[in-house]
Structures are given as C-alpha cells and as structure tokens.
Structure 1
Amino acid sequence: MKNNSKTKYIFFSRELSLQPDTAHEIHDVLCANAAANLGYASVLAYPDRKNYINPLKLIFPFHPKQPDSQFVEFYGVQEKLKVAALPMLWLTDKVGGKFTSSSTLVTKYYLPIHILPCTKIVHTRDWNFVKAAIKNKIPTIYERHYFQEQQFEPEIVNSPFFQIAITQSEPIRESLIKYGMPLEKVVWLHNGFENSFLVRQPEAALEWRKELLADGREHLVVYSGALYPFKGIDVLIDAAKELPQIQFAITGGTEAQVKKYQQMCKDKQVENVKFLGWILPRKRLVSLFQAADILAHPHCSGNAANFTNPVKFFQYMASGTPMVVTEIPPLMVFKNSPLIADWCEPDNPHKFAESIQYILKTYPRKIEGYADSIKFAGQFCWENRAAKILTYVDQSFQP
C-alpha cells in the first residue's frame, strides 16, 4: 500500500542566521519558497541554535509553521512556505566531537525519527544530510555551489535514491564528475529572481531618486550584493572616481565591510558613492533597482569568476533597468541575448566607466523598464528553476 503520509518536500539549510552577507542562506530560502509557490508541501528545516529549556521541544521537535514577520521581512517569502526550526541542545557545536554537533543531532535523530515519516523528497546543500537521507531511502536532490575537493562515496551517489546534483556553472559540474559523481546525475542551472521584481513601483522608485540624487546629480548607478574584493567593489569605486557627475549607490555587506569601503572612498577622495547597507524589508530592492539609470555588475577575474552565478544578475534583468556587466564565464551565454546591457572586461575600472557612459547615452532610463529585458527574464524566475529541477527526478519520487 502506498504511504500517503509522505507528502513533504523538505529543504534543509545548515544555517539560517538572518544576518547580512548570507547569499547561500537566501538561496536556500528562495528555493524552498519557489517550490511552495508551485503548490508543493514545501518545508524549510534548519537548526535553531537558541537555548531551549523546555525538554518537550526536543521530544517533539518537528513542527512546520508559518515563518514569523522578521523572517518574511528579511527573506521576502510568500505565505505558502512553511519553516521548521529544529531545536538544538545548549552544548551543540560549543564543544568538540561529532556527538555534540548539530549535524549529528539532525542526521541521527531528527531526520530518521521525526522528519522521515512525512518526507517525500529532500533538497539540500548539506552533504551530511544527503548521506543520511540516502541511508534512510529518501529521494534526494543535492546542490553544490563550489568546486569539489574530495571523492564522493560511491554507495551514496550511485544509489537510486540519489536523484540529481545541481551546480551553478560548467566548471563546478566538471569538478563533481571528476570526483565520482555519475555524469548523468549532475546538471548546472542558472539561479533566479523573485516574481516581486516584475512588479512596477514607479512611486517608490521616484522616492529613491529624490533621496539618492539630492546632491544635484542626474544619474544613478546601483550595485547590490556582497562586498568582497573579488566581486569588483574596488573596481566600481575606481570607476565612480572617473565619473564624479554620476551618483553611485551600493547595497549589501556587513557593517564592517561597509565601514571598510567608506574609508576606501574617503582615502581615494571619491565623493559620489553612497553605502546603503542591508536593505529591509527585502522587497524595497525592487523599487531601488527600478530607480536606477544603470545596475552595475562588476566582477574580478580569477577562480571565483568561474563558479559564481549571482542572484543579483537575474534580479537586475527582471527590473528592466539597463546593466553594465563584467564578462565572466557563467554569464557569457547572455552576452548575445536581448538584455539591455553593455559588457566589459574584468579588472578594468576605466572600461567599466566607459560602459556606464555608453549606456547612459544609448539607453536612457524608462519608468516602465525595457520590455526586452523584462520579457527575456521571465524564464529565470525561481519557480521555473524549481520546476526544471523536478524534471530530473523520477516520477515515482516527485512530491
């Protein structure tokens, strides 16, 4: 007899901190949210590292529920997603040894006893959770965003319950195959954007322009994302110095990173860059992107350029705002697409500045956005990505 109680599509994230500079956490949440929006019984489970006094929470730990308002504000999820915060013991991850690790508690106790009975399939970036799921005969989708560095266990990747490994670029896919992943069990897919980025917000965009262009400049260039040197932030600041008549706004990063780059701008006498920090609620990014004349996508060359597949790129395109994009391998497939964008070589602030000037002359800002970019972006929403992933799952295992 078929067990109809196994209905949950479990997404497991090893960490949800609700802190800035947590791109992979956001990725986990948005994948789960997309599956929920498609109508699946999607539950995002994660270790909750608060100190619980009530022992009943450890006896009955798995209770999917609506996320609270702080979670919704930070990640921008919709009402269909359920979350399950798995309570941890007070000493979990605080002392050495595998028996006191959160991974052991999750994989040896929560998964086989509390999560397994209702689970149809799991999707995770946590390899320990993958191994535990396969050993408990749960169909599994694995997601890997970095180069593989050690051999995969053959009994795991060759199991019929190991359905597919998802990567974000061809070099990452090749590294997984090199270390033992079966060729037919690994694909690479682009990331996506939330559908909220397709909703026009002209009034809110105008408010952003009034705020950010208060110093009298006419044009606004916006960057959103992590604040690391390899992301090209230094390049963007140097490009801004060449264009003092244009206002630059940078969002994202931790407080320490923001202070570091503010000091860099001061040292270099760059006066046309504003740091906005982490934008909350997250949906305010939508109007900020629509407020910009140009959305900047700088990046440096090097190993990191081979595996990144930035979520911001797909959010940018959905906004319909013209872009300046650095030529990095995972994004080159888009160079000849209908996107309104100019492409330039990495590591070159002068070329980036030239591209900004070219876009301003050629593609003036449109309140309604550029239709070609918006139409092209439609295929890359998170829901389409979630649906594509499930095409690689055996029909009998699908949620």
Structure 2
Amino acid sequence: MRIAVISTSQVPSNTANSIQVLKVCQAYKQIGHEVLLIIPGNKKYEWEEIKSNYGVTEKFEIRWIKSVKKLHRYDFAIFSIIYARKWKADLIHTWTHQVALFLNWIKKTYLLELHELPTGNFGPKLFKAIIKSSNKKRFLPITQTLAKRYENEFQFKFSPGEIVISPDGVDIERYGNKQTPSEIRKKIGIKDNFSAVYTGHLYAGRGMNLMVELASLLPEIQFVWVGGRDNDVAYWRNIIIDRNLNNIMIVGFVKNELIPLYQMAGDILLMPYEKSITGSSGGNTVDFCSPMKMFEYLASGRPIISSDIPVFHEVLNSANAIFCDSEDSLCWRDAVLQIYNHPTIAKSLSVQAKLDAQGYSWINRCKNGLADF
C-alpha cells in the first residue's frame, strides 16, 4: 500500500512530535508499505542528516512544501493533499485537522492522530465538522483517557471500528545491547558510578527541581541528564554550580541514534513529571500524555521510577516501575535507595519492563492502526 504521511512538524528538529512522525514513517516502511512524508518547509535536507538526527534506518521519500504562516496551514493542507493524490496514495496518515477536513470533502480514507484536545476559536469547530462526516476514517488517540476526554468534550461516542488507542512506541531493535550499565558508561565516556539517568527536555513540568533536590539528598548517586535546548542546559548548569552539586552530569542534546546507549547506561531511569506537563508544542498535557521516554525506558530493561500520574498507569504498573508523588523528594530518595540496596528488586523490575516493552513497538502500533481498516 502507498501511504502518505502528512504532518506540520518541523523536520529536522528535536521536538517529540517530529520524532514520532519519523518513527511512524519508518514503521510503515518496515512492514512493507511505500511511504511519502509531506511536511512544511522551504529547504530540502539530506537523508543522512535525517537518519542521524532521528535514529531511523529505513529510507523513505520526504517532500517539503512551502506554507504561509498567516494562512494557518490551510494552504499546506491543500497542497499536501494535491501532492499525495499525484503520488497515488492509497491512504493518508495525518496529525493535522485541516488535512482531515479536506479529506472528508473529497472522500479520501485517512487515519487521524489525536494527541491533545483542539484549542482556539476554530479548533473545536473543525473537529466537530470532522466527526460529523461519513467519510471513512480512523482516529488514533494516544491514550484511553484522551479518547474519553474527546467524547466528553464533544458529546459523542467513537464507534468501535473508527478508533484504535495508539500510545507512543519504541524501536525495540535498538535496545538489544547486552552490556551492563557499567560497560556502557565506559563505552560512552561517563564516569563509572551507580547512575540514575533522565533523558528528555529540561523545560517546565519535567521535574528538574526535584532531581536537583534528589541529587543533594543522595551525594553517593550519580545523576545523568541527557537532552535539552542550549538555553535550558545553561540555566540548569548554573543552578547546579550555585548549589555546589558535584553529582549531576548534564550531557545536553545528543542525536536520537545515541539515546538508547545513554538510557541503558543507567542503573535507574527517572520520569519525574510534575502535575503540570508542558509539551514541546506548549500546553498542559498531564492528564492524557503518552511520553516516548516511557516506552524507551521499558525497552532499556532498567528499573524505572516514575511520578504517580494517573494516565501513566495505562502502561506502567507496580511490576515494572516504582511510583512516587512528584512533590515528595523523600519518596524519590527512598525509591532510589531501594533499588540501590536491593539488586533482586532491581532485577525484577528490569525483567518485567523489558517484557512489557514488546507490546509497544512502532511496528505493532502501525499494524494495529491498519488492522481491519
């Protein structure tokens, strides 16, 4: 099948939404489909740069289309659909509601990702128009909680055949390294101490203050932060210097292809999300988010300590993670020490995490989205 994937994400970039788009494209390619990615932009980038930034190996066609910002992506939606039809796409996969609206008008089959509730003056009206159409479509909300929020907000029910809950995923094949955390730390040049690792952005809602406090409570543990924009990295490095903390290492941004190594270098993986989470596109997503790092952490086969966010329980449980209140630094301290002092507990959590990750591959996600459609 020929699948055109249409997104307004900036590519290349280090945003979570752009990473997900590329992973979806690769997964379709891996299961035998022809893939065309259509995104806004004025410049074409070489495949080697895309491959390195996103950790993808399956090459697929990418088309950048110029878009005028003041037209709110409606021009991009129209020209993307025209290009996809010229390419003879059998199916459209999109995150963009403007695209879905126009596809309904021309009776073209599509899959629509749902990652947050529509906002603004026109967002809700646009979605109401989408759900009223009888055109063949399928919705892919990232969590059960988000699907219910949509139903409550718009006073309707998804029919069974038009919805597949589609959490974010992970490239299972990238997590086959059998080396110990100690061996991997030596390989990538990290000081070989017992390490608690965090990967991801450093902006609001990610629990950076908690991790600073945790480092002060546990001077014997090395904390490794991987990721973040340059200005955020500089800000937190200054905080660490002011606090005179010597056990936090901020690596900063690394290319996606290296993320598995840094995660597997940890003896513990941390998910200290706060009760308000700012996504890469802005807005609070704490009630319905599906962080990619959650699935990457599972695939790493390392003990996970996570904030006790209700929606995380759609994936995590007491067998594959330890939960703590995001505002209780002493609970986090005790959880780290529990893993540090009890190797059997660490082993049990690690084994179950690795096992549970198998159900969340990007390939399985794409197969499920297409099943019986």
Which bracket does the TM-score occupy, shorter chain normalised?
0.7 to 0.9
Name 1:175's counterpart in structure 2.
149
Structure 1 residue 365, shift from structure 2 partner: 10
Higher alpha-carbon Rg = 1
CA distance in 1, matches of 2:210, 2:53: 28
Report how many aligned residue pairs link the two structures: 356
Q: Cα distance 1:286–1:132, how it changes in 2: closer, same or farther (>3 A)?
A: same
Cα distance in 1 between the residues matched to 2:12 and 2:129: 35
Q: Per the alignment, in what secondary structure is the counterpart of residue 183 of structure 1?
A: coil
CA apart distance, 1:377: 1.2
TM-score of the pair, normalised by structure 2: 0.86
Q: Distance in 2 between matches of 1:154 and 1:322?
A: 43
Give the letter for the 1:347 counterpart.
E
| 1:313 counterpart (288, 294, 297) | 294
Deviations 1:260-311 (A, max 9, x none): 111122222222111111112x222222222211111111124532122111
1:199 maps to amino acid: G
Equivalent positions of 1:1-399 (< 5 A) are: 7-20=1-14, 22-50=15-43, 68-79=47-58, 81-88=59-66, 92-93=67-68, 96=70, 98=71, 103-112=73-82, 114-117=83-86, 118-149=88-119, 150-177=124-151, 178-179=153-154, 182-184=157-159, 185-200=162-177, 202=179, 206-209=183-186, 211-213=189-191, 218-280=193-255, 282-302=256-276, 304-336=285-317, 338-339=319-320, 341-363=321-343, 370-391=350-371, 394=373
Stretch of structure 1 that moved more, 70-79 or 299-308: 299-308
Cα shift at 1:371: 3.4
SS of match in other structure, 2:246: coil
- Quickly say closer, same or farther: Cα 1:355–1:69, change in 2 above 3 A: same
Structure 2 gaps of 5+ residues are 277-283
For residue 188 of structure 1, report the CA deviation from its aligned partner: 3.0
Q: CA deviation at 1:159?
A: 2.8
SS of residue matched to 2:168:
coil
- Contact map agreement 2:65 2:76 (CA 8 A) in 1: no
Shift of residue 385 of structure 1?
0.9
Separation in structure 1 between the aligned mates of residue 362 and residue 177 of structure 2, nearest angstrom: 19
Partners of 1:126 and 1:76 in 2: how far apart? 24
Gaps of 5+ in 1: 1-6, 53-65, 395-399
How high is the sequence identity, in percent, across the aligned residues? 19
TM-score computed with the length of structure 1 as normaliser = 0.81
1:14, 1:188 → 2: CA distance? 22
Q: What is the distance in 2 between the residues matched to 1:134 and 1:146? A: 21
Provide Cα deviations, 1:141-193, integer angstroms capped at 9, x if missing partner.
11121123424455532334342222223332123222256422444332111
* Structure 2: distance between partners of 1:181 and 1:28: 28
CA positional deviation for 1:203: 8.2
Cα deviation code 1:190-217 (max 9, x no counterpart): 2111123331152896252473226xxx
Contact 1:156 1:162 in 2 (8 A): no
Distance 1:148 1:349 in 2: 34
Paired AA for residue 362 in structure 2: W
SS in 2 for 1:141: strand
Q: Separation in 2 of the partners of 1:14 and 1:163? A: 19
Q: Deviations over 1:68-119 (max 9, x none)?
A: 101000111122x41322342xxx436x4x2xx6x2433333423x321411
Conserved 8 A contact 1:152-1:180: no
Give the conservation status (yes or no) of the 8 Å contact 2:97–2:126.
no
Is the contact made by 1:293 and 1:364 (CA closer than 8 Å) also made in structure 2? no
2:214 aligned partner, one-letter code: A
* Secondary structure, counterpart of 2:286 in structure 1: helix
Q: Hey, what's the Cα distance between the residues in 2 that align with 1:202 and 1:313?
A: 21
Question: Residue 212 of structure 1 aligns to a residue in which SS?
Answer: coil
How many angstroms apart in 2 are the aligned matches of 1:188 and 1:252? Answer: 28
In 1, the alpha carbon distance for the partners of 2:264 and 2:28 equals 27
CA distance in 1, matches of 2:26, 2:133: 28
- 1:204/1:272 CA distance change after superposition, 3 Å: closer
Instruction: Please say if residues 5 and 93 of structure 2, whose CA atoms lie closer than 8 Å, have aligned partners that are also in contact.
Output: yes
> Cα deviations across residues 23-75 of structure 1 (Å, max 9, x unaligned)?
0111111112111111111222112223x9xxxxxxxxxxxxx9610100011
**What is the DSSP-based 3-state SS (H/G/I as helix, E as strand, rest coil) of the residue aligned with 1:229?**
coil
Structure 1 stretches of 4+ moved >4 Å: 152-155, 364-367
- Indicate the RMSD between aligned Cα atoms, in angstroms: 2.6
2: CA distance, partners of 1:75 / 1:198: 15
Q: Counterpart of 1:142 in 2: which secondary structure?
A: strand
3-state DSSP class of the match of 2:205? helix
- Structure 1 SS opposite 2:245: coil
Does the CA contact (< 8 Å) of 1:293 and 1:365 recur in 2?
Answer: no
